[in-house]
Amino acid sequence: MSKIKFTKMQGLGNDFVLVDYEEIKNLDISLSELSIRMCDRKFGVGADGLIVVNPDDMKSNTDVCWRIINSDGSEPQMCGNGMRCFAQYVFNHGLVQGKKFSVNTLAGTIIPEVLEGDLVRVNMGKPILEADKIPVKSNLFPVLNDTLQAGDRTFQFSAVSMGNPHCLIFTDENTEELALKYGSSIENNPIFPEKTNVEFIKVISEKHIKINVWERGCGITLACGTGACASTVASILNNLTENKVTADLPGGSLTIEWAGNPIDKDHDVFMTGSAKVVFEGEYLL
């Protein structure tokens, strides 16, 4: 029987099990299977995903690296809430020299910065707006107000990638009910070749949006950092909000900033929010 030291963390209720690669490198188990077991909320630690700190296959010229595996065993390219937790972890464990550092991910290099208290600000990079790179089957650029069918409904949607694909739907209806009812069918809609995250968004004001999320590979979650970023980018491109937005999710609020606009889109997205340690322990495999 193997003992795996882990740290449980959460960012706005989006929770993760963080494990140093040295703890698991000699185990005869795939990361996919390990995530399924450890993230199980009845028979494991319980989490939305597993974050592996500094895996050998991701090491590059960045300060640190990661792999993140969803609770269903699939591997997303990026996760905003997970990145804030990862940033706090590597900073607290002395794995980086300063408060601002580079991380190698499947979505490229991400730059987080640990602020005061439990806040982390992350440069999430530039949003991807080309349909074939998101990817989504659409002839629009950017993909704004296209249509899709989900069950008994036709929705207008926008699409943005923040290293992972997002389907953004603006509505005045109950966003939680819509996410529960239509999230799965939209995630698996064939117009999204790699499936998609789904956000139902209500614009409260030019500086304030409310979001409910159906995450690809996870289902309903309390928060999604990349989803908040994609929602803000889509809000700005649709002329619904200003360039700095408070994004309310069931687990709490994020501040999202993007200097882009419908004409000049070449700007990085910045996300600021909390990341907290829940507990530490050993998992028996």
Amino acid at 108: G
Domain assignment present for residue 134? The answer is no
The confidence score (pLDDT) of residue 256 equals 98
The confidence score (pLDDT) of residue 76 equals 92
The two three-digit tokens of residue 37, written as one number? 């077991």
On the question of pLDDT at 237 being above 90, the answer is yes
Q: Are strands 64-70 and 269-274 parallel, antiparallel or unpaired?
A: unpaired
Residue 247: its H or E element: strand 244-249
**pLDDT tier at 1, thresholds 50, 70, 90:** confident
Tally of CB atoms within 10 A around 37: 16
**What is the distance between the alpha carbons of residues 107 and 164, in angstroms, rounded to a whole number?**
8
CATH number at residue 21: 3.10.310.10
Domain assignment present for residue 130? The answer is no
- Count of domains for the chain: 2
The confidence score (pLDDT) of residue 89 equals 98
**What is the distance between the alpha carbons of residues 214 and 224, in angstroms, rounded to a whole number?**
9
On the question of pLDDT at 208 being above 90, the answer is yes
Nearest alpha-carbon partner for 122 in 103, 98, 106: 103
**12, 88: one domain:** yes
By annotation, the residues acting in catalysis are 79, 224
* Residue pair 80/228 in contact by the 8 Å Cβ criterion: yes
Which DSSP category does 223 fall into?
A: -
pLDDT tens column, 125-179: 999 999 999 999 999 999 999 999 999 999 999 999 999 999 999 999 999 999 9
On the question of pLDDT at 272 being above 90, the answer is yes
On the question of pLDDT at 53 being above 90, the answer is yes
**What is the distance between the alpha carbons of residues 257 and 265, in angstroms, rounded to a whole number?**
13
Residue 148: its H or E element: strand 143-150
**78, 156: one domain:** no
Domain assignment present for residue 86? The answer is yes
**263, 150: one domain:** yes
On the question of pLDDT at 273 being above 90, the answer is yes
Only one residue has tokens 């991807």, namely 128
On the question of pLDDT at 240 being above 90, the answer is yes
Residue 84: its H or E element: helix 80-92
